[in-house]
Amino acid sequence: MHACGIVEDLTIRHVRWDLLPPDTLGVHGRSAVTSKPLTGRIVAVTGGAQGIGKEIATHLAATGARVAIGDRDRDGARTTAAAIGGTTVGFDLDVSSRESFAAFLNAVEQEWGPVDVLVNNAGVMWVGPFDEEPEAAQRRQFDVNLHGVINGVKLAAPAMRSRGHGHIVTIASAASKLAPPGESTYAATKHAVYGYLTGVRAELRGSGVELSVIMPGVVDTELAKGTATGSAKLLQPQDVAKAVVSVIQKPRFEVTLPSYVDPALRLVNVLPRLARDFVMRQMIPNQIEATAGSSERADYESRVIASDKQGRNT
């Protein structure tokens, strides 16, 4: 059997799922938390004009939530909000700017009231050899993927704590715990997000404010165009959107997609180093090889670099 197949087989058939904490079980894991209805709740989604964010906003609106879509593409955010319908509004937002993020949350509060749930979804990725990565791409990934999350948490969580309730859901990545070749900086930002949220969660314990981090594998979006999925299946934006709705209704800290990824990693990590490295090479895609000689990502990545330059000239 293929090495990654062995890990998956061990995970799915032989793990005592009932003995694992709910946080490790992924979106299909059990939770003793009472389901919280979403009808009428105010949810802000960053990076919601397209891709995963658009799908999250669509699913949330379908539950009866009031959804605020924030995006650098203000016209795109408004167009998406109009297409979704219901109580959905589009706003201008650059998550890398604390001032812009504060203005976004204030605008939502003026529209409906304080935000009940913040979904940190905005993200960017550059793929290629570490020593060929443009500095602008490096900076933009940290500005959006990490500083954008920190800005959101620092602005939203204190107000939620003062009210005694609230929820911040962050779309991270399987790269929060893995580091595929070709995604070194991206993985660094996602590792940092996971560490940051773990610390903040400990500080907020008992406050009534929930934190959740969703860690999907490769999702079929422009961000992941041209990359490989490794041993896991290619996910669709609606898979992540369903996980968001589920974790808001039944809060837990960690959600992995597919759900067997985290338990599989736990099993692999008990192996000796040589065996662990071998299995990980079978499981984790080499994105340098996957994208070599292809121009499929050129347009997207040129916009990532351009957005960094634009942000630093305004």
> Residue 139: left if φ>0, alpha if ψ -120 to 50, beta else—which one?
alpha
- Annotated catalytic residue, options 186, 194, 260, 300: 186
**CA gap 290, 240 in Å, rounded:** 23
Distance of CA 219 to the CA centre of its chain: 11
186 is known as an active-site residue? yes
**CA gap 206, 268 in Å, rounded:** 33
The Cβ-side half-sphere exposure at 82, using a 13 Å CA radius, reads 6
- Which among 73, 115, 70 is positioned nearest to 95, based on CA atoms? 70
- Which among 209, 100, 55, 306 is positioned nearest to 91, based on CA atoms? 100
Q: Are 116 and 85 contacting, i.e. CB atoms less than 8 angstroms apart?
A: no
**CA gap 148, 101 in Å, rounded:** 8
Tell me the catalytic residues: 186
